[in-house]
Structure formats: structure tokens, C-alpha cells
Amino acid sequence: ILCKTILNDWDYHYKHEKVIQLLMETTFFEKCVYLCWSMAIQDPVMYLDDDLKADMPLDKNTYKEFVKSGDTVVYVVWPALFLHRNGPLLYKGVAQASWKKAEQFV
């Protein structure tokens, strides 16, 4: 019984390692690593916008709305991708929005 409990505990605590190991054997993982590496070796490196935070105004030139429309960021689903910091936009990010102005009057 003790051995079974220890093995179950071991399996539970290291289950994520099994999932990661399985993931690392997929083509998807290889392509993700290739993409990240390609982004990192650019000179200058590509830039994922991590400056957008909740309650900031949503720039619709840089971000698409996720499920709800609005003028204020609730959370970022996927950051915008730029050729480099302060460079041209390569791909719009996605953010969940809400109408901040309308909520102030409720």
C-alpha cells in the first residue's frame, strides 16, 4: 500500500513532465522552437508588445478585439508583433475590450 501511494504521488507530481515530454516530440513544438529562434536571432530582435495592460485605452490600429468590443483593455489574449521595438507592425495583437466610458455612467 505504501509503495502504491508513493508511486501515485510521484505520478501526480511529475505528470506535467510527461506532458512536456510528449509535447516536445511533436512537429508543433519543433515549429514553435524554430519560430522563437528565428525571432531571437534577428538583428534587432523582433518585439512582442508587453506594454499593454488592463484599463489602458485599446489602440485598434495595433490590436483586434477578442469577443467583446470596446475602448479599454480588459486583458491581452495575444500580444502584437513588431519587426523590432518601435518598428513597423507585423501582426496585430488580440485583446479583450470593454466600454470604459459607458461603465462610468452606469
The span from the CA of 36 to the CA of 41, in Å, is 9
Q: Are residues 98 and 85 located together in one domain of the fold?
A: yes
DSSP state of 57: B
Q: Can you tell me whether residue 19 is helix, strand or coil?
A: helix
Whether residues 49 and 34 fall in one domain:
no
Q: Give the burial class of 81: count Cβ atoms within 10 A of its Cβ; 0-12 exposed, 13-18 middle, 19 or more buried.
A: middle
Give how many domains the chain has, as a whole number: 2
Predicted confidence (pLDDT) at residue 85 exceeds the cutoff of 80: yes
Task: Render pLDDT for 22-77 as a digit per residue (tens, 0 to 9).
Answer: 888 999 989 888 888 888 898 888 999 989 999 999 999 999 999 999 999 999 99
Host domain of residue 82: 44-106
More confidently predicted of 42 and 7? 42
74 and 49 both lie in a single domain: yes
Does residue 5 carry a pLDDT above 70?
A: no
Q: Please tell me whether residues 100 and 65 are part of one structural domain.
A: yes
Q: How far is the C-alpha of 1 from the C-alpha of 45, rounded, in Å?
A: 55
